[in-house]
Amino acid sequence: MSKRYPPGPRRTFPLSGLLGYRRGPLPFFQNLAAQYGDISYFRLGPQEAFFLNHPDHIKDVLVTNHQSFHKGLALQRAKRSAG
């Protein structure tokens, strides 16, 4: 059974997402939202990531169903420092 992912940019080479992100995180995420809508999938190097661009989706992941989702290291660190 293959995995189904939301739409997102195709990787032209293994580090393409990472390079786009490093050029400018804000334009990178603005482009994701403009091209792919409220939920998109991308890879930053070997890391798989999902971008949520709607408050209801963000609340579902971070509050309502938080136990069902694995959060990345950056979000885990932010939780420790921000509470």
Q: Which residues contact 47 (CB under 8 A, 6 or more apart)?
A: 72
Beta strand ranges found along the chain (DSSP E): 39-44, 47-52
Higher per-residue pLDDT: 10 or 59? 59
List the Cα angle 75/66/40 in 5-degree steps. Answer: 65
The pLDDT mean for the chain works out to: 81
| Residue 33 pLDDT greater than 90, yes or no | yes
pLDDT greater than 60 at residue 11: yes
pLDDT at 2: 60
